[in-house]
Amino acid sequence: MRSIWTGSLVLGLVNIPIKLFSVIEQRSISFRLLDDKDYEPIRYQRVSEKTGQVVDWENIVKGFEVTPGKFYVLSRENIKKLKPTKSDAIQIIEFINKDQVDEIYFNKNYYLAPKEEGRKAFFLFKKALEEAGKVAIANFVMREREHYCMIEPHGKGILITTLFYQEEIRSMDEIAELEGAAPKLTADEMELARLIIDKKTHKSFDISKFKDEFSDNLIKATKGKKIEQKEIKKSPNLIEALKASVK
């Protein structure tokens, strides 16, 4: 597996040379937009909304809208100054219990592995985390953005999970449909719901049985195979739907 970033895991005065690997392997099919006359790819041009004329890249600047139609413009030099200082260090800030971090803040996962010269220190750190039952909170800069992350032992190595900032998480209080008192539930409805949960409960979780049917069907289509569609039957009301689920 090819690493996407290299640097050091820094704990106080200890520097552990490491490599970062992507956990996700994108297998989805990327569509291209084509001209239906000759199936040749089309491309977009940068056009001024005011004049309709094509604007060359060297004449384009970046800005954000402060009021409708009014933009605050930043030069490339100013944007560059505002970006975080480039660093090859993952700086550990503190240690906590994992359950102290709400899972809603979890963003992307990466594997962490040692460079050859850092193997002993890497596995010492991993073992210490396991025995302490703790995770580390750290920050690092990758692709010109500062990330805060959670570091924990995982399998043969270490897993890094980048975290969303608090300002990025929307509150459930914004959802109007959740306002007001919850609907009154009958004893029969609750009993049937519990029966469904009991019936569908498994002792273990096997992720391999879940498939990306859309991507699989696209691959079948390119090979001339028949694509089967599943029919979903609708039940007329809640009680009948619950009873049907128990059968």
Q: Where are the chain's structural domains?
A: 5-27+83-168, 183-246
- Residue 6 token pair: 């290299």
Q: What is the pLDDT of residue 245?
A: 65
Q: What is the pLDDT of residue 156?
A: 95
Judged against a pLDDT cut of 60, whether residue 227 lies above it is answered with no
Judged against a pLDDT cut of 60, whether residue 230 lies above it is answered with no
* Window from 43-47, 179-183, 213-217 with minimum mean pLDDT: 213-217
The answer to whether 14 touches 121, Cβ cutoff 8 Å, is yes
Task: Using pLDDT thresholds of 50, 70 and 90, give the confidence band for residue 224.
Answer: low
Judged against a pLDDT cut of 70, whether residue 225 lies above it is answered with no
> What digits encode the pLDDT tens for the residues 126-179?
999 999 999 999 999 998 899 999 999 999 999 999 999 999 999 999 999 999
Task: Using pLDDT thresholds of 50, 70 and 90, give the confidence band for residue 229.
Answer: low
Q: Calculate mean pLDDT across residues 83-107.
A: 94
**CATH T-level fold of 5-27+83-168:** Ku70; Chain: A; Domain 2 (2.40.290)
Q: What is the pLDDT of residue 226?
A: 60
* Window from 58-62, 139-143, 212-216 with minimum mean pLDDT: 212-216
